[in-house]
Structure 1
């Protein structure tokens, strides 16, 4: 039996760019899990030149920060809303 643990995404990570807090590796992984995509599929979806998913692994390992634009697109696709909008409340 597979148990799926959902990680809560901090509200500060779902804020417009001026107020945005960098998500943790587990938060990035959670958004990717909610998308139901592999790291390679995410890199293709984002139009990244590296189709191997290496950059995704760097974001998850917190070796490199995920750009706000990529994070916002992934959050929107995962159903977390358009985080770049000030009309969240």
Structure 2
């Protein structure tokens, strides 16, 4: 389950949990390395994804918004509550 607060435009967005990041990856049908490539992450991209899922580092909003789009959750940067 992904909290509605995580599916808002950047100015009112709340950081997703690692479990929410994992769920968006699952919905998008992407492995960590596939997601890293789609997001244009460089050499350590797979590691970056793992750090987001482990909550070692926060996921940047643009990356989260694109993953949500890939997962079919819409263009969250345009959503209005």
Task: Please classify the TM superposition score into its range, dividing by the shorter chain length.
Answer: over 0.9
Give the RMSD, CA atoms, in angstroms: 1.3
Residue 62 of structure 2 is aligned to residue 55 of structure 1: no
Instruction: Note the residue ranges of structure 2 that are not aligned, 5 or more in a row.
Output: none
Q: 1:79 to 1:62 in 2, by over 3 A?
A: same
Structure-2 separation of matches of 1:52 and 1:20: 24
Runs of 4 or more above 3 Å deviation: none
Structure 1-normalised TM-score?
A: 0.85
1:73 and 2:66 are equivalent in the alignment: yes
Higher relative contact order by CA 8 Å / sep ≥ 6: 1 or 2?
2
CA-CA distance at 1:50 after TM superposition: 2.7
Query: Partners in 1 of 2:51 and 2:72 — Cα distance?
Result: 23
Hey, what's the Cα distance between the residues in 1 that align with 2:34 and 2:23? 15
| TM-score, normalised via structure 2 length | 0.93
Structure 1 residue runs of 5 or longer lacking an equivalent are: 1-7
Q: Answer with 1 or 2: which has the greater Rg.
A: 1
